[in-house]
């Protein structure tokens, strides 16, 4: 089979958060429409951190078919689901408690397995296998959309700089016990999963992310975790940022 290099990232920069929220919700609904037309459902993985607050353009938006969404977490902290550090709690607070998504369509970690992180991450992987296996012959799941953030150190999901997990090639879900950012115990989707997605969209805002974004987009050879997100063709990576976050970036912007 011919090998195609991954497509270059597409960078959208907005002058204010309202424009970003609006464009992002439009982009997500378009992705959902395509997926539902093709396969009758929309598989999406969502991060925590600052990202969920930018999804509020979906609340009450016409065209969102919540019953077709199957939601997983791109990463999750190993804490109770109602703990302030839980990415699930954050997504519930910012979005899912405000929309008619069936609770069974939101796939959370099984916190009762907290004493054995291998079991906990295997159980989450099984949840993915149940959703994706046998639907196509791919070795890895093909998410319709993965929504990611980027930390000031360039980490994304719970893939941190210089961590051995960056080299994971087999597992769909892996655990980490020594996250440099609190809390230390987490699970994360691995690169093979992220880089098989149909679309990955990063969201990053604020001047505090300007240096990080410059390194990620202008110096991919530095190998920061977010730069390594390069979905295999025909997958595509998009960046939704504000002008403050993009202020130091030379990488070309695309008009929406």
Structure tokens at 140: 């890895």
Rounded least distance, CB 202 to ligand LXAUTJHC, Å: 9
Q: How many residues bind ligand LXAUTJHC (CB under 6 A)?
A: 13
Within 8 A by CB and 6+ apart from 151, the residues are 49, 181, 212
| From 46-54, 107-115, 162-170, 215-223, span contacting ligand LXAUTJHC (CB under 6 A) | 46-54
Pick the closer one to ligand LXAUTJHC by CB: 31 or 194. 194
Site for ligand LXAUTJHC in 50-89 (CB under 6 A): 50-51, 75, 87
Site for ligand LXAUTJHC in 133-152 (CB under 6 A): 148-149, 151
Q: How far apart are CA 77 and CA 66, in angstroms?
A: 25
Give the CB-side neighbour count of residue 10, counting CA atoms within 13 A.
Answer: 13
- Of 158, 190, 198, 227, the one binding ligand LXAUTJHC (CB under 6 A) is 158
Alpha-carbon separation of residue 102 from 96, 99, 109, 244 (angstroms): 9, 9, 17, 37
Rounded least distance, CB 53 to ligand LXAUTJHC, Å: 9
Torsion, Cα of 221, 179, 93, 211 (10° steps) = -30
Within 8 A by CB and 6+ apart from 132, the residues are 43, 141, 142
Rounded least distance, CB 188 to ligand LXAUTJHC, Å: 8
- Of 9, 48, 141, 154, the one binding ligand LXAUTJHC (CB under 6 A) is 48
Q: How far apart are CA 48 and CA 228, in angstroms?
A: 19
- Residues of the shown chain interacting with ligand LXAUTJHC in the complex, contacts defined by CB under 6 A: 47-51, 75, 87, 148-149, 151, 157-158, 181
């Amino acid at each position: 089979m011919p090998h195609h290099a991954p497509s270059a990232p597409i960078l959208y920069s907005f002058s204010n958060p309202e424009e970003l929220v609006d464009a992002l919700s439009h982009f997500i609904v378009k992705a959902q429409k395509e997926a539902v037309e093709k396969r009758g459902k929309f598989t999406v993985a969502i991060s925590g951190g600052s990202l969920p607050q930018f999804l509020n353009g979906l609340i009450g938006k016409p065209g969102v078919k919540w019953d077709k969404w199957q939601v997983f977490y791109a990463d999750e902290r190993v804490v109770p689901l109602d703990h302030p550090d839980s990415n699930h709690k954050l997504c519930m607070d910012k979005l899912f408690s405000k929309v008619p998504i069936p609770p069974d369509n939101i796939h959370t970690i099984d916190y009762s397995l907290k004493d054995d992180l291998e079991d906990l991450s295997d159980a989450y992987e099984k949840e993915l296998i149940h959703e994706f296996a046998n639907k196509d012959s791919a070795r890895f799941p093909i998410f319709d959309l993965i929504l990611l953030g980027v930390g000031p150190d360039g980490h994304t999901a719970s893939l941190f700089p210089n961590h051995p997990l960056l080299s994971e090639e087999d597992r769909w879900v892996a655990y980490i016990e020594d996250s440099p950012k609190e809390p230390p115990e987490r699970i994360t989707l691995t690169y093979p999963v992220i880089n098989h997605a149909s679309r990955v969209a990063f969201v990053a805002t604020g001047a505090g992310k300007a240096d990080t974004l410059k390194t990620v987009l202008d110096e991919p050879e530095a190998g920061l975790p977010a730069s390594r997100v390069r979905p295999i063709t025909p997958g595509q990576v998009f960046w939704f940022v504000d002008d403050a976050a993009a202020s130091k970036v030379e990488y070309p912007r695309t008009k929406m």
